[in-house]
């Protein structure tokens, strides 16, 4: 089955800097990828998704990059703000079902 891993458990950045959070997946047939943000005491909040027919997708201050060759995706947050402090998860559906396999999460800490 699919497995998903994140490269760093914690990332500390200065307010205003750009943040990059990485994720690796194992199944080369995976065709849909999602990033969620989870603030303390809340459920995961959808940020952005990308399908395998794309290499890059941009949202408001966020960009997701997908490298299918090395089975890696990243979430870039521009001009990081204190409100961006949270745990970020990448998630991938497991094969033919919509069961999501989550990475372990990266805690983003934004220093003022």
Partner 1 sequence: KAGVTQTPRYLIKTRGQQVTLSCSPISGHRSVSWYQQTPGQGLQFLFEYFSETQRNKGNFPGRFSGRQFSNSRSEMNVSTLELGDSALYLCASSLVGDTQETQYFGPGTRLLVL
Question: Interaction with partner 1 in 44-73: which residues (CB under 8 A)?
Answer: 44-46, 49, 51
Considering only 29, 70, 97, 112, the residue that binds partner 1 (CB under 8 A) is 97
Closest approach of partner 1 to the CB of residue 98, in Å: 5
Q: How far apart are CA 17 and CA 66, in angstroms?
A: 22
Q: How far apart are CA 32 and CA 55, in angstroms?
A: 12
43 binds partner 1 (CB under 8 A): yes
Shorter beta-carbon distance to partner 1: residue 41 or 83? 41
Collect all residues with Cβ–Cβ distance below 8 Å to 24 and sequence separation of at least 6.
4, 5, 6, 7, 70, 71, 72
């Amino acid at each position: 089955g699919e497995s998903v891993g994140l490269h760093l458990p914690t990332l500390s950045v200065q307010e205003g800097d750009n943040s990059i959070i990485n994720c690796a997946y194992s199944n080369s047939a995976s065709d849909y990828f999602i990033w969620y943000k989870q603030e303390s005491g809340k459920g995961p909040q959808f940020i952005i998704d990308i399908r395998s027919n794309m290499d890059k997708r941009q949202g408001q201050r966020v960009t997701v990059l997908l490298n299918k060759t090395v089975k890696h995706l990243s979430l870039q947050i521009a001009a990081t703000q204190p409100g961006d402090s949270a745990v970020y998860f990448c998630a991938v559906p497991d094969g033919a079902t919509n069961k999501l396999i989550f990475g372990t999460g990266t805690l983003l800490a934004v220093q003022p």
